[in-house]
Structure 1
Amino acid sequence: MTNTLLGGLSVETFLTEYWQKKPLLVRQAVPGFTGVVTKDELFELARDPDVESRYVTHTETTWEVIHGPQKASDLKRKKQPWTVLIQGLNLFCPDGDELLHRFDFIPQARLDDLMVSYAVDNGGVGPHFDNYDVFLLQGIGKRRWLISDQDDRTLIEDAPLKILQDFRPVYDWVLEPGDMLYLPPHWAHNGIAIGECTTYSIGFRSPTYQELAQQFLNYLQDTLQLDGIYADPDLKHQAHSAQISDQMIDRVAETLQRITWTREDVRGFLGAYLTEPKPHVFFDSPDEPLEHDEFVEACTKDGYRLDARSLLLFTDGHFFINGEPVPVETDDQPTLQALADNRRVDTIAGLSEEGIALLYDWYCCGFAHPSANLME
């Protein structure tokens, strides 16, 4: 499957020669692919207030962006080019979640979400660049992609989108259903619909170092403890009572140097940070949860799977789900690792009582489900 997805390349070759280095065009990466939602289903999601969506329309010189929920009337416009984009399709569509995780040859810690865009003829979001890696998989119809590796990233002022002021493409490709284009960060691109079409975008997380630093400091704040209180038994009389003395600055600087962290602190931070749900994501507990014994019977028979909104990651025996660390018994770790990797396990037979209790708690929180229960 990955062999087809990458046009016959091995994962190792793709990572060595293309990942974050240069584009890759793959014809029939997913043979026969036309999408995972119909146009009507996509429009229904666009009108849903719980779904993050954008409606983009443009003329030759102007752009307009409307954030969802969208109006049904806008989704029927015919006078000018437009497109509607649905973010996080994997959260609302099981087939979308499955499609997203076909790209698990890139670590899940880097995987972000699946976006789908529907466009009428000549629709698009203009020439732009992203700060992250993206796979662009064509659904229905055709889309023309103009690609550039230009260094000039000057944007049009006051535009509601980050539109490049001077776009100079060096590649010109038309993608048909099942074709796919991989683009590394900062490669400028402009996708233009040829007739009506859909494009599925598999995006990856690329936080800035500034964001990582800020979030890490917030993490430390919750765990930091410096004993003692400020004291100055050697205080001297000052000529200016409003002056912050060098002695006070030195004393506080010396105290703050006691703030340190270890590699294990970074491990704990990354586990929590990378699995933290996005602000608009909420979990639904089952209306009528199975009793414990019924749950065990169902999962032993039919398996257990993570909810599409859940992210379970692990590192060196430490497990994290949805922003929280979770203790896992040593004997249970292989099963939990398989659950994290594959997002499902065929059975929970062999888990300890503590392991089963953990999975039952996740089920009651809406983090995961018995596989058969999910199909109902």
Structure 2
Amino acid sequence: MASPLTHLGDMPIEVFMRDYWQQKPLLIRNAFANFESPISGEELAGMALEEAVESRLVLENGESGPWELRTGPFTEEDFLSLPKTHWTLLVQAVDQWMSEIAELKDFFRFIPDWRLDDVMISYAADKGSVGPHYDHYDVFLLQAEGKRLWQQGPKVDESNPRLEGTPLNILKEFEAENSWVLEPGDMLYLPPQYSHWGIAEGGCTTISIGFRAPSAAAILEDLAAEIAMDLPDSQRYTDAGAEVAKNPAEIDPASVARLQQQLGEWLQQPEKIAQWFGAIMTEAKYPDTVALDADDAADWREQMPQGAQLVLNPASRTAFCREPATLFVDGEAFPCPLAFAEQFAESHEISWDDIEAFPEIAEDSGLLDQLVAQGTLIYPPEDF
């Protein structure tokens, strides 16, 4: 594994996390010195021909009108029929299919793994873009090939008008506050909701390392259901010591404050919240991709004593918590020795030495059997 970045340009990571992360944009010149793209536009187009790969084409002047969106898989004829300019190909989760791209994620492990969404790569013909828009997630935009003009506007939200006649969430009005041309190795960090617009200057490739966070609505809906399952029916709203009602029809501020306090008390379950949070933050983005490798390493009991290793499927996610000791993998919680959970979540590898140190994980129908059966653990592929 590569080591996490200690600096972004000349800026220490600690300064970035304190002053910029989720707060304001940052341009990092020469973030990766002498950077050479691990993938070409032609290779990216080849991936977009595959049914298992999520891909999109955005044409600023499409057959159906401005900002046309097409979804893959595509054919070679689709690419041959494209205009010379003003289009962009986007391919999601390239890190799941190419080891060179997956290795880029290691540089960003100064942010927890469970915050990472995926690595999306776009190739744009001259003047190609996806229009002025904003995202709900943090993203590092690493220029891989060619040049791209990035314009960054103000922070916006759902109230800002969208352009009609396209399925894309393109802002109707956009005014740039900053403008930069990025070359290979340069990188732009954008926090959630900052409007931006990237336009290719000649053909170019951009690598987007995105970080996800569940919405407040999703957290409240899912967590409330999880906690409610274990609350007894006898635990209810109470108002002992309430004052005489001045108006029997009023829901008064004191009653609302009392309910807020009781809600807080019901949520005082840190272990249960940790279990829920670990599961939801490790859900695989593409579970079908994980399932493709189910039982790929079913003979691990024979192979590992001879030196074979098991590794985390590149489409899988993992994390751990200490109390109680739990390994989270692809949305499931597995109780196991803390030392094993910590080292596997860090290294993403299991050797025979680990099995000898933690023999309980190798029991019949135990942890390793379960993870192999669902495709989470596989033998190291030559490439993904």
TM-score norm. by structure 1 comes to 0.82
| Cα contact 2:126–2:201 (8 A) shared by 1 | yes
Is the Cα contact below 8 Å between 1:312 and 1:340 reproduced in 2?
yes
Distance apart, 1:4 and its partner CA: 6.8
In the alignment, structure 2 segments of 5+ residues that lack a partner are 235-261
- Alpha carbons of structure 1 residues 23 and 7: separation in structure 2 relative to 1, 3 Å: same
TM-score by length of 2: 0.80
Identity of aligned residues (%): 36
Q: 1:79 to 1:42 in 2, by over 3 A?
A: closer
Which residue, 96, 103, 127 being the options, matches 2:101?
96
Match of 1:56 among 52, 55, 58: 58
Task: State the Cα deviation string for residues 73-109 of structure 1 (Å, max 9, x = none).
Answer: 2323234411110011111111221112321111112
* Equivalent AA in structure 1 for residue 124 of structure 2: A
What are the equivalent positions in structure 2 for 1:205-216 lying under 5 Å apart? 205-216=212-223
The equivalent position to 1:73 in structure 2, one of 72, 77, 88, is 77
Evaluate the alpha carbon distance shift between residue 147 and residue 107 of structure 1 in structure 2; reply closer, same or farther with a 3 A threshold. same
Give the 3-state SS of the residue equivalent to 1:57 in structure 2: strand
Gapped regions of structure 1 (runs ≥ 5): 229-256
Aligned partner of 1:176 in structure 2 is 183
1:35·1:139 contact (CA, 8 Å) conserved in 2?
yes
Partner residue in 2 for 1:120: 125
1:280–1:68 Cα change, 3 Å: farther
After superposing the two structures, state which structure 1 stretch, 280-289 or 193-202, moved more.
Answer: 280-289
Per the alignment, residue 244 of structure 1 pairs with: none
User: Counterpart of 1:314 in 2: which secondary structure?
Assistant: strand
Does 1:351 find its partner at 2:360?
A: no
Q: Deviations over 1:318-347 (max 9, x none)?
A: 221111111113xxx224312212323675
How far apart are the structure 1 equivalents of 2:144 and 2:208? 10
Q: Name the CA distance, whole Å, in 1 between partners of 2:281 and 2:194.
A: 25
For residues 187-336 of structure 1, the aligned pairs below 5 Å read 187-220=194-227, 223-224=229-230, 226=232, 260-261=266-267, 262-278=269-285, 281=288, 282-283=290-291, 284-287=293-296, 289-299=298-308, 303-316=309-322, 317-329=325-337, 333-336=338-341
Q: AA paired with 1:309?
A: A
Q: How many residues align?
A: 340
State the one-letter code of the partner of 1:133.
D
The answer to whether the Cα contact below 8 Å between 2:133 and 2:170 also exists between their aligned partners in 1 is: yes
> Does the residue aligned with 2:307 lie in a helix, a strand or coil?
helix
| 1:136 and 2:145 are equivalent in the alignment | no
Aligned-partner SS, 1:165 = coil
After superposing the two structures, state which structure 1 stretch, 36-45 or 341-350, moved more: 341-350
What's 1:239 paired with? none
User: Matches of 2:297 and 2:281 in 1, distance apart?
Assistant: 31
Asked if the contact 2:84/2:126 (under 8 Å) is kept, the reply is no
- Between the aligned partners of 1:260 and 1:271, the Cα distance in structure 2 is 20
What is the identity, as a one-letter code, of the residue corresponding to 1:322? D
> 1:318 & 1:4 partners in 2: Cα distance?
29
Cross-structure match for 2:256: none
Secondary structure at 2:354's aligned position in 1? coil
Taking the aligned partners of 2:210 and 2:85, their CA distance within structure 1 comes to 28
| Pick aligned residue for 2:172 from 165, 168, 190 | 165
What is the aligned partner in structure 1 of residue 255 from structure 2?
Answer: none
Helix, strand or coil at the partner of 1:159? coil
Higher mean C-alpha deviation, range 184-193 or range 210-219: 210-219
Classify 1:288/1:363 alpha carbon distance in 2 versus 1 (closer, same or farther; 3 Å): closer
Report the CA distance between 1:133 and its aligned residue.
Answer: 0.7
8 Å CA contact 1:138–1:176 kept in 2: the answer is yes
Inter-partner Cα distance in structure 1 for 2:273 and 2:297: 39
**How far apart, in 2, do the equivalents of 1:328 and 1:135 lie?**
34
Which residue of 368, 371, 376 maps to 1:367? 376
Amino acid in the other structure paired with 1:324: E
Paired residue type of 1:56: V
Backbone CA RMSD of aligned residues:
2.7
Match of 1:201, SS state, is strand
Is the contact made by 2:362 and 2:369 (CA closer than 8 Å) also made in structure 1?
yes
Correspondence 1:38-49 to 2 at 5 A: 38-49=40-51
Q: Contact 1:55–1:70 at 8 Å: present in 2 too?
A: no
Moved more, 282-291 or 153-162: 282-291
For residue 254 of structure 1, what is the aligned residue in structure 2?
Answer: none
One-letter amino acid of the structure 2 residue matched with residue 87 of structure 1:
Q
Aligned to 1:248: none
